[in-house]
């Protein structure tokens, strides 16, 4: 469904062996339509193409760590923290006698727009990291961010004002040592704010996650698929009826900040996805490829060294856009799909690679 998807395919490599990329079944080739100035209703406007397609047949643009557009100076507690790069950042800050946030925040911010703006820009997958900060559920990425309630309200506003759009939200990384009661409260908050739009397993009546069609979701008003947890909390309270378990999404993630290495990894995953007969993403599931660079210790340490080194994740991402974009365009021209969900950092805004659309 490359037809008129807003995406951003600027996250891949600049050389691709197109002969090895065999389009999967149900692939729709690149559209000849002109790019839109407004992508907020692109699914409704292309309903004639999309309505009979399933979630497993579409390609949705998405934002990685969507809530990390504003962060506080408070470190996120949890068993996964600090990561090696965060530990290095803490040590650097101590050596220099500066606030830890001055080192961590530049590498922890992943977006520049709030979630409502991301959705209005055209993104249809939201990667929502929810952490318990000791008093409330908040977005996080190394540091504590905005309240989860704010993001849920953004999603609800978008669903209410754009009745023809379908969105997938993954609530995961439930860090901060929350107990089962706190996790149940988070699930209840999701249901309270978004419940009228949620298309969960009970609504699907036996259909697998990836087998639900866009038309079914839009016609019923259940246009929001919520995936809950990352393996730690697969079922609790009424969540098993209203939200999907994490296993319905299969994520490919390079965990590197070297653009060449990340582009090679993503390219190999695209080849695997297009040439496989379902092994990469079993029937009824969706395949997500994360087109992102992740801070590593060496790069964080290097931000204080002389020379033209990247000083933030955004700067590193910006430097990589041209090369990623070139491969993206070649992928589109080959008539292939880069998974079902393509997750990126810094989605939206003037000059964003999302405007170099795959339509």
Residue 71 within a domain: yes
DSSP state of 19: G
| Per-position DSSP letters for 206-250, written without gaps between them | T--GGG-BHHHHHHHT--EEEEE-SSS-S--TTHHHHSB-GGGEE
* Domain count within the chain: 1
How many residues appear in the chain?
359
Of 73-77, 228-232, 240-244, 304-308, highest mean pLDDT: 73-77
| Per-position DSSP letters for 321-338, written without gaps between them | HHHHHHHHHHHHHTT---
Rounded CA-CA distance 78/132 in Å is: 9
CA 294, 295, 298 angle in degrees (round to 5)? 140
- In the numeric block, the tokens 């504590």 are attached to 144
Is residue 233 very low, low, confident or very high in pLDDT (cuts 50, 70, 90)? Answer: low
The token pair at 138 is: 């908040």
Neighbours of 165 (CB within 10 A): 23
DSSP state of 22: P
Q: What are phi and psi of 138, to 5 degrees?
A: -135, 155
Poorest-pLDDT segment among 12-16, 78-82, 189-193, 279-283: 12-16
Rounded CA-CA distance 159/100 in Å is: 38
DSSP state of 75: E
Mean pLDDT of 183-201: 95
Smallest CA-to-CA distance from 225 within 183, 149, 166 is with 166
Output the CA torsion sign for 261, 62, 26, 57. positive
What residue ranges in the chain does DSSP mark as E strands? 60-63, 71-75, 125-132, 137-141, 143-147, 167-172, 224-228, 249-252, 286-291, 341-344
Residue 11 within a domain: no
Domain CATH for 124: 3.20.20.190
Is residue 117 within 8 Å of 348, Cβ to Cβ? yes
Neighbours of 192 (CB within 10 A): 12
Which residue has better confidence, 71 or 355?
71
The predicted-structure confidence for 18-42, as pLDDT tens digits, reads as follows: 334 444 544 433 333 345 678 999 9
The predicted-structure confidence for 147-177, as pLDDT tens digits, reads as follows: 999 999 999 999 999 999 999 999 999 999 9
Residue 4 within a domain: no
Residue 5 within a domain: no
Judged by phi (left if over 0) then psi (alpha if -120 to 50, else beta), residue 205 lies in left
Report the mean per-residue pLDDT for the chain.
85
**pLDDT for residue 17 is more than 50:** no
Is residue 97 within 8 Å of 52, Cβ to Cβ? no
Question: What pLDDT score was predicted for residue 4?
Answer: 38
Question: What pLDDT score was predicted for residue 275?
Answer: 85
DSSP state of 358: B
DSSP state of 248: G
Residue 250 within a domain: yes
Rounded CA-CA distance 231/212 in Å is: 23
**pLDDT for residue 192 is more than 90:** yes
Rounded CA-CA distance 314/12 in Å is: 16
3-state DSSP assignment of residue 256: coil
DSSP state of 351: T
- Residue range(s) defining the domain that contains residue 28: 18-355
Residue 8 within a domain: no
Residue 344 within a domain: yes
Percent of the chain topping pLDDT 90:
69
Residue 56 within a domain: yes
Determine the distance from the C-alpha atom of residue 174 to the mean position of all C-alpha atoms in its chain, rounded to a whole number. Answer: 16
Is residue 54 within 8 Å of 212, Cβ to Cβ? yes
């Amino acid at each position: 469904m490359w037809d008129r998807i807003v995406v951003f395919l600027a996250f891949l490599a600049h050389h691709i062996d197109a002969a090895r990329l065999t389009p999967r079944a149900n692939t729709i080739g690149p559209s000849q339509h002109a790019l839109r100035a407004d992508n907020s209703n692109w699914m409704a406007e292309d309903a004639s193409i999309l309505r009979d397609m399933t979630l497993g047949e579409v390609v949705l643009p998405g934002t990685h760590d969507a809530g990390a557009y504003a962060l506080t100076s408070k470190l996120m507690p949890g068993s996964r923290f600090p990561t090696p790069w965060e530990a290095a950042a803490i040590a650097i800050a101590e050596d220099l006698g500066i606030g830890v946030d001055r080192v961590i925040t530049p590498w922890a911010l992943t977006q520049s727009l709030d979630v409502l703006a991301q959705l209005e820009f055209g993104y249809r997958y939201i990667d929502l990291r929810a952490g318990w900060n000791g008093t409330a559920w908040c977005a996080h990425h190394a540091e504590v961010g905005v309240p989860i309630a704010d993001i849920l309200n953004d999603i609800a506003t978008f669903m209410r004002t754009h009745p023809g759009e379908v969105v997938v939200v993954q609530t995961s990384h439930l860090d901060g040592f929350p107990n089962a009661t706190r996790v149940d409260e988070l699930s209840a908050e999701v249901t309270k704010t978004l419940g009228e739009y949620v298309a969960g397993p009970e609504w699907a009546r036996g259909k697998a996650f990836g087998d639900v069609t866009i038309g079914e979701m839009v016609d019923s008003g259940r246009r929001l698929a919520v995936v809950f947890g990352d393996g730690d909390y697969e079922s609790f309270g009424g969540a098993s009826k209203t939200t999907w378990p994490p296993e319905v999404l299969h994520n490919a993630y390079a965990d590197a900040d070297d653009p060449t290495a990340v582009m090679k990894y993503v390219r190999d995953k695209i080849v695997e996805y297009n040439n496989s007969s379902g092994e990469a993403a079993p029937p009824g599931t969706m395949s997500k490829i994360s087109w992102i660079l992740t801070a590593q210790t060496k790069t964080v340490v290097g931000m204080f060294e002389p020379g033209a080194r990247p000083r933030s994740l955004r700067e590193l991402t910006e430097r990589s856009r041209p090369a990623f974009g070139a491969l993206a365009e070649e992928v589109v021209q080959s008539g292939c799909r880069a998974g079902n969900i393509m997750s990126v950092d810094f989605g939206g805004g003037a000059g964003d690679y999302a405007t170099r659309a795959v339509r």
